[in-house]
Amino acid sequence: MLALGYQSASAQLVTESFGTGDNAFTMDFVTIGNPGNAADTTGSPNPVGRVDYIYYLGKYEISRSMIEKANPNLGLSFEITQTSLRHFGGDGPDRPATGISWNEAARFVNWLNTSKGYHPAYNFEGAREAMINTDIVLWGENQYSGDNRFRHKDAHYFLPSVDEWYKAAYGSPDGTWSDFPTASNNPPVSVVGGTDAGSAVWGMNWPGSPADIYNAGGASAYGTIGQGGNISEWNESAFDGTNDDPSEPREMRGGSWVNSFEYLDASNRQSYGPGLEASEFIGFRIAMVPEPSSLSLLALGGVLVALGRRRQKRA
């Protein structure tokens, strides 16, 4: 893979607001541009990382407080539970939410959508609605795009697919790839927290604890924090890439605070069933697609940048 040798210092940020009153919170997203990029042929699976559209990925992992503030709004007779990190010294509100199954994360995503008037991403109709940790139902014909029957085509927020997650972690705006999600082919420096370039929260002594989501290591080339280390993260995609069976294992990536640096590498991935929730090492982050008006502005911005470069060359 090509070494990038830089970090994004001016990633385009979009802040979304959710909930009301004491249960209000915000979420920052970074723009993942360069649509139609060439896939990486040296990672796993191979090829991986091609995305044909502009999208946004959460700059940070989902925190414990975000889940706690969403719970009263879910409208069902359940709450999303989180594995306690008290005995790991990590029970703060800005610690990453862990011990949440893929199914529970999907419920959280659905609430993000419906709370803003968007279509739910995942189909829980007929899936024993009163039980939060039950598998989804596949969307039917004309309800999904391509061959991804997990995600509704009109959803605004969703769990990132393997390609969406991988591109934001190991890709770059100029189309090159790196081995680690710190814009480098070298293993990141092991830290307990902070945002220094080329650092990540990994290799901690047991039991230790993850860092706050805002302090979980240096940025990727696109500007995300903590895609390597701190906690492993659910991907939307099935491990075999088919997305045709609600109960099939889902991919997870990035490694946690107790893993070795190999778990942060682009070639490393694991999988668990969508109902697994008893793990203090697994959490997630959210992706979204931009509004049509935002796409127009992004396209205009690209044109202006290109014109500026041409003028500079002529000068």
Task: Please check whether residue 7 lies inside any domain of the structure.
Answer: no
Q: How many CA atoms lie within 13 A of 272 on its CB side?
A: 20
- Average pLDDT score over the chain: 87
What is the residue range of 91's domain? Answer: 13-314
Quote the strand ranges of 10-147, DSSP E: 13-18, 25-32, 55-58
- Mean pLDDT to the nearest integer, 116-139: 83
Q: What is the pLDDT of residue 241?
A: 95
Q: What is the pLDDT of residue 133?
A: 77
Choose the weakest-confidence range: 28-42, 119-133, 200-214, 288-302: 288-302
Residue 3 has pLDDT above 50, yes or no: no
pLDDT tens digits, one per residue of 78-126: 567 776 554 454 678 999 999 899 999 999 999 999 999 999 999 998 6
Q: How many domains does the chain have?
A: 1
Q: How many whole angstroms separate alpha carbon 253 and alpha carbon 42?
A: 16
Q: pLDDT band for position 309 (50/70/90)? A: very low
Mean pLDDT: which of 35-49, 117-131, 197-211, 274-288 is highest?
Answer: 35-49
Task: Please check whether residue 96 lies inside any domain of the structure.
Answer: yes
Tokens found for residue 60: 């940070």
Residue 23 has pLDDT above 50, yes or no: yes
- Mean pLDDT to the nearest integer, 236-258: 97
On whether the CB atoms of residues 51 and 32 are closer than 8 A, the answer is: yes
Q: What is the pLDDT of residue 75?
A: 59
Work out the percent of the chain whose per-residue pLDDT is above 70.
Answer: 82
Task: Please check whether residue 8 lies inside any domain of the structure.
Answer: no
Residue 304 has pLDDT above 50, yes or no: no
Task: Please check whether residue 3 lies inside any domain of the structure.
Answer: no
Tokens found for residue 277: 């929730």
Task: Please check whether residue 305 lies inside any domain of the structure.
Answer: yes
Residue 235 has pLDDT above 90, yes or no: yes
Q: How many whole angstroms separate alpha carbon 245 and alpha carbon 168?
A: 26
On whether the CB atoms of residues 28 and 45 are closer than 8 A, the answer is: no
Give me the residues paired with residue 252 across strands. Answer: 234, 270
At 108, which helix (H) or strand (E)? helix 102-115
Three-state secondary structure call for residue 23: helix
Q: What is the CATH number of the domain that holds 59?
A: 3.90.1580.10
Task: Please check whether residue 191 lies inside any domain of the structure.
Answer: yes
Q: pLDDT band for position 127 (50/70/90)? A: low
Angle at CA of residue 180, ends 176 and 183, nearest 5°: 50
Q: What is the pLDDT of residue 308?
A: 44
Close Cβ partners of 199 (under 8 Å, ≥ 6 residues apart): 182, 188, 189, 190, 191, 217, 218
Q: What is the pLDDT of residue 80?
A: 75
Tokens found for residue 57: 């990925």
Closest CA to 211 of 96, 82, 86: 96
- Mean pLDDT to the nearest integer, 161-186: 98
Q: What is the pLDDT of residue 61?
A: 98
Q: What is the pLDDT of residue 6?
A: 35
Residue 130 has pLDDT above 80, yes or no: no
Q: How many whole angstroms separate alpha carbon 308 and alpha carbon 315?
A: 11
Q: What is the pLDDT of residue 208?
A: 79
Q: What is the pLDDT of residue 170?
A: 98
Q: Phi and psi dihedrals of 298, rounded to 5?
A: -65, -40
66: exposed, middle or buried (Cβ count in 10 Å: 0-12, 13-18, 19+) = buried
Closest CA to 131 of 81, 89, 96: 81
pLDDT tens digits, one per residue of 7-18: 344 468 999 999
Q: What is the pLDDT of residue 292?
A: 63
The CA R_g of the chain, rounded to the nearest whole Å, is 19
Task: Please check whether residue 4 lies inside any domain of the structure.
Answer: no
Tokens found for residue 32: 């993942």
SS (H, E, C) 250-302: EEEECCCCCCCHHHHCCCCCEEECCCCCCCCCEECCCEECCCHHHHHHHHHHH
Residue 315 has pLDDT above 60, yes or no: no
177: exposed, middle or buried (Cβ count in 10 Å: 0-12, 13-18, 19+) = buried
Q: What is the pLDDT of residue 300?
A: 47
Task: Please check whether residue 2 lies inside any domain of the structure.
Answer: no
Q: What is the pLDDT of residue 12?
A: 84
Give me the residues paired with residue 272 across strands. Answer: 250
Residue 310 has pLDDT above 50, yes or no: no
- Mean pLDDT to the nearest integer, 186-210: 93
